[in-house]
Amino acid sequence: MICRRFGSKPLLTRCHLPQMPPEIVDASSVFNPGAMAIDGVTYLLLRVQTRGRRTFLVPAHSHDGAEFRVAQRPVQLLGLDGLSGSGLHVYHVYDPRITVMEDRIHVVTAMDTDRGCRLAIWRTAGNPGSGFAGLDNLMLVGLVRGSPDGTSGVSSGHENTRNGVLFPERIDGRYAMLHRPNGPQSDGPASGNTIVFSQSDDLRIWDTGRAVLSGRPHYWDELIGSGPPPLKTEKGWLHVYHGVATHFQSVNIYQAGAVLLDLADPTRVLGRTRDNLLEPREGWEVTGQVPNVVFPSGWVADTLDDAGHASLDSRVRIYYGAADTVVARADTTVAELISACE
Ligand code: BMA
C-alpha cells in the first residue's frame, strides 16, 4: 500500500468546528483543505460549508500534523469589492491550494461566479504572528485571466478553469501554474480531462496553457485535476492529481494518483501511476455529501535536502477531503510515490 491512512477515522469533521456566529453555526461539512508547514507547524485552510450551503475558508494549525486547532472565525477575504465593481457576482470561494513562494504564502482558490468558474490568487495580508501564520486574512492578487488583447488566454481565450496550483518557484524567470480548464460536460458540474501548464509575469495575466497530461478514457482517471501543488524532488516535480472514473452507471468515483514532471520543462511527463494510489474505501469516503470521493488538496513533506528538494526518504502527509464531508490524512514517502510513477 503506497498511501496509508492515518488512524482509523477522519482528522476533522463538522464536530471539530467551533461555532462562529453569525457566519458558521452548526456547519454541515469540512473538506478539501490546503496545507503547508512553517517552522514545524502544519497549517490547513479548510473548506467549510454551512447548512445554507454557503462556503467559508477556516484556518487550523497543529504541532503534530494530526490534532488541529481550528480558528474561531473564518478567513476574511479582502479585495472582492473591486470585483463587484466589474459586475461579477461571486457565489463561492473554495478548494484552496497553498504554495509558499518567494517567502510569501500564496493561495489559489476556485471561485464560482455568475460567469462560470474562475481561479483566484490570494496572498496572506494579516499578521503572521496570529497563530495561523496570517492565513486568517487573504488579499486578492487577481483573477487568473488571459491577455486583454486576446492573444493569449488560460483556456483558449476564455477563463473557465479550476484546480489551479502554483509552483513554489519561478521557472525560466516566470511564475508557473498547473490548472484544469473546464470542458463541455453533458451533465453535472463543470469538469475537464486535461491539466495544462501556464506561465505569467505578474500572477494576473497568464499565457495559453500547454497540455501536460490528459484523462484516460475507460479507466480510473477519465477526468483529472491537480491535487496539491507540485513538490520539488531531485528526480522531478512530483505531483498528485485526482482522477474521476465516470463509466459507472450511477456514480462518479474520485481517486488519486501521481505524476512526475521534468524539473526544467514541467510539460514533459517522466512517469505516471498506472493505478490509483488512494480510492474511496472507508465508510467516511464512500458515504457523505458526495459519496465515493477522495480529493487530495494539501500535502507536507517532512524533510528537505540542502538544495531545497523534498528528500527521497521523506515522509509525505497528504491531507484530503473525503465525500465532500470530512478531512482525512494518508501518509507515504517521496521515494514510494516516485517509484509508483516509474
Ligand atoms: C469537484 C470539485 C471538488 C469536489 C469534487 C467532488 O468537481 O467541485 O470541490 O470535492 O468535485 O464533489
pLDDT tens, position by position, 129-173: 777 899 999 999 999 998 776 666 554 434 789 999 999 999 999
Q: What is the pLDDT of residue 158?
A: 45
- Whether ligand 1 lies within 6 angstroms of the CB of 161 is answered as no
pTM of the shown model = 0.95
Q: What is the pLDDT of residue 87?
A: 86
Q: What is the pLDDT of residue 156?
A: 43
The segments of the chain whose pLDDT lies below 70 read 149-158, 184-190
Q: What is the pLDDT of residue 155?
A: 45
- Whether ligand 1 lies within 6 angstroms of the CB of 295 is answered as yes
Instruction: Please classify residue 269 by burial: count the beta carbons closer than 10 Å to its beta carbon, then call 0-12 exposed, 13-18 middle and 19+ buried.
Output: middle
Q: What is the pLDDT of residue 186?
A: 59
Q: What is the pLDDT of residue 160?
A: 86
Q: What is the pLDDT of residue 85?
A: 77
Q: What is the pLDDT of residue 29?
A: 98
Mutate to test the pocket of ligand 1, among 293, 319, 320 (most ligand atoms within 8 A of CB): 293
Minimum-distance ligand 1 atom for the alpha carbon of 191: 7
Which residue, judged by its Cα, is nearest atom 12 of ligand 1? 290
Q: How far does residue 326's CA lie from ligand 1's centre (Å)?
A: 13
- Whether ligand 1 lies within 6 angstroms of the CB of 191 is answered as yes
